[in-house]
């Protein structure tokens, strides 16, 4: 198909306090005797948000461990556990950052698809729709709330389950939930959005659809991280919408160099998405001169430390592994550098880039 015909999130509620409407929102989605399963980021264990979850009958909260980014083995164990205990369920509600939301998407798909989630890492491999699912971000920036993928680290690769069955049926965008995020984490995840915008707006796949969302998201990121002198409620409001719009922008384009390189770091070293993108972006003047200049300004203004020297002492084998993962992300490179990207981003050049990180 020449033009991407993409599936979007079905329902969106936005506003401070909209989380309080969750019970009402879930009511029509409940199937008799089958529970709603809330996958709640483990950060919220014992916190007030946990007691605000509208549990009914045999509903359950599972605190998900997001110390590491989601792995296919974790998804499989969660979905198998649910199948054994309940047979089938009404739905899965993911509450947390990109990791908890991605886990929710993957687990609900695995409720109705056989085998391991690793079998479905790729594009349009998922065969059956999953159960009902909703996403509720507590960090803003990844765009996982709107995307048609769930990024998983599997036995051989880090790749999403990209499919029309993957987007949420419902998202609840309540900026109050992001209010107490630590400044560093908020910055790293926020920069994921900023970098989505730069990569989308400077990419060869750009069209007016992506541009409209990308420009708005970029403007909101600039307000939050460049113009504001102090973090306030308005920053949470704006960054939540930036994340949404940034996600919509890449839905019709693609990400670029920072993501392609950071995927390699993440695969080999377990570097997390937000911080990994920042580590790479710091060295991409050649590809995104304006964006990198502004990025450095934001790092300074917000008093953030970007780790240096993380590839020091790696072996040739390790560099090769990272390069294989990175160069495998063909659409990202093509978006960033055009059809002839392989002539531009040679292994030599990529190796030198990794050595700088």
Residue closer to Fe ion, measured from CB, 34 or 196: 196
| Residues in 143-172 that interact with Fe ion by CB under 5 A | none
Q: Which of 9, 22, 66, 298 binds ligand NAD (CB under 6 A)?
A: 66
Q: Residue 175 interacts with ligand NAD (CB under 6 A)? A: no
CB of 103 to Fe ion, least distance (A): 16
Residue closer to ligand NAD, measured from CB, 150 or 326: 150
Question: Residue with structure tokens 């979850």?
Answer: 53
Size of the site for Fe ion (CB under 5 A): 1
CB of 198 to Fe ion, least distance (A): 11
Residue closer to Fe ion, measured from CB, 69 or 192: 192
CB of 228 to ligand NAD, least distance (A): 19
In degrees and rounded to multiples of 5, residue 354 shows phi and psi of -60, -35
Using DSSP's 3-state secondary structure scheme, residue 114 falls into: coil
Q: One symbol per residue from 90 to 109: x for binding ligand NAD (CB under 6 A), - otherwise; what is it? A: ------xxxxx-x-------
Q: Residue 174 interacts with ligand NAD (CB under 6 A)? A: no
CA 80 to chain CA mean position, Å: 24
Q: Residue 150 interacts with ligand NAD (CB under 6 A)? A: yes
Residue closer to ligand NAD, measured from CB, 159 or 350: 159
Residue closer to ligand NAD, measured from CB, 35 or 250: 250
Nearest 10 degrees: Cα torsion 111, 113, 119, 122: -90
Give the integer Cα–Cα distance in Å for 20 and 156: 41
CB of 147 to ligand NAD, least distance (A): 3
99 binding partner (options Fe ion, ligand NAD, none; Cβ < 5 to 8 Å by kind): ligand NAD
DSSP string, 288-309: -HHHHHHHHHHHHHTT-PPP--
Q: Residue 294 interacts with Fe ion (CB under 5 A)? A: no
Cβ neighbours for 328, distance < 8 A, ≥ 6 positions apart: 157
Cβ neighbours for 110, distance < 8 A, ≥ 6 positions apart: 75, 76, 79, 117, 130
Q: Residue 199 interacts with ligand NAD (CB under 6 A)? A: no
Q: Which of 40, 111, 134, 144 binds ligand NAD (CB under 6 A)?
A: 144
Q: Residue 176 interacts with Fe ion (CB under 5 A)? A: no
29 binding partner (options Fe ion, ligand NAD, none; Cβ < 5 to 8 Å by kind): none
CB of 144 to ligand NAD, least distance (A): 4
| Strand intervals (E) in 174-315 | none
178 binding partner (options ligand NAD, Fe ion, none; Cβ < 5 to 8 Å by kind): ligand NAD
CA 67-191-243 angle, 5° bins:
90
Question: Residue with structure tokens 């780790």?
Answer: 307
Q: What is the DSSP letter of 333?
A: H
Give the integer Cα–Cα distance in Å for 212 and 248: 9
Q: Which of 18, 79, 162, 189 binds ligand NAD (CB under 6 A)?
A: 189
| Strand intervals (E) in the chain | 11-14, 36-41, 60-64, 91-96, 122-123, 132-137, 151-153, 158-162, 170-173
Give the integer Cα–Cα distance in Å for 136 and 149: 16
Cβ neighbours for 356, distance < 8 A, ≥ 6 positions apart: 283, 311
| Residues in 13-52 that interact with ligand NAD by CB under 6 A | 41-43
The residues of the shown chain that bind Fe ion, judged by CB under 5 A, are 192
The residues of the shown chain that bind ligand NAD, judged by CB under 6 A, are 41-43, 66, 69-70, 96-100, 102, 138-139, 142-144, 147, 149-151, 178, 180-182, 185, 189, 192, 272-274
């Amino acid at each position: 198909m020449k033009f991407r015909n993409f599936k979007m999130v079905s329902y969106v509620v936005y506003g401070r306090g909209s989380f309080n409407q969750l019970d009402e929102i879930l009511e029509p989605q409940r199937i008799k005797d089958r529970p709603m399963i809330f996958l709640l980021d483990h950060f919220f264990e014992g916190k007030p948000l946990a007691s605000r979850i509208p549990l009914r009958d045999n509903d359950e909260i599972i605190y998900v461990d997001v110390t590491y980014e989601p792995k296919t083995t974790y998804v499989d164990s969660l979905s198998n556990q649910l199948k054994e205990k309940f047979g089938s369920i009404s739905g899965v509600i993911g509450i947390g950052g990109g990791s908890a939301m991605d886990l929710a998407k993957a687990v609900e798909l695995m409720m109705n698809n056989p085998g391991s989630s690793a079998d479905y890492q790729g594009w349009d491999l998922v065969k059956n729709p999953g159960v009902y699912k909703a996403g509720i971000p507590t960090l803003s920036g990844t765009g996982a709330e709107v995307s048609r993928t769930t990024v998983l680290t599997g036995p051989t690769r880090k790749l999403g389950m990209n499919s029309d069955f993957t987007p949420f049926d419902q998202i609840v965008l309540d900026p109050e939930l992001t209010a107490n995020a630590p400044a560093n984490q908020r910055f790293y995840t926020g920069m994921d959005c900023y970098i989505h915008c730069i990569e989308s707006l400077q990419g060869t796949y750009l069209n007016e659809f992506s541009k409209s969302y990308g420009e708005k998201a970029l403007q909101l990121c600039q307000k939050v991280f460049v113009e504001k002198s102090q973090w306030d409620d308005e920053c949470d409001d704006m960054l939540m919408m930036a994340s949404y719009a940034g996600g919509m922008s890449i839905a019709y384009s693609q990400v670029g160099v920072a993501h392609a390189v950071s995927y390699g770091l993440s695969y080999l070293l377990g570097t997390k998405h937000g911080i990994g993108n920042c580590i790479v972006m710091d060295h991409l003047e050649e590809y995104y001169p304006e964006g990198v200049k502004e990025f450095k300004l934001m790092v300074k203004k917000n008093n953030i430390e970007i780790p240096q020297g993380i590839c020091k002492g790696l072996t040739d084998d390790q560099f090769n592994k990272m390069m294989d993962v990175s160069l495998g992300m063909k659409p990202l490179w093509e978006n960033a550098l055009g059809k002839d990207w392989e002539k531009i981003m040679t292994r030599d050049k990529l190796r030198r880039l990794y050595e700088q990180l």
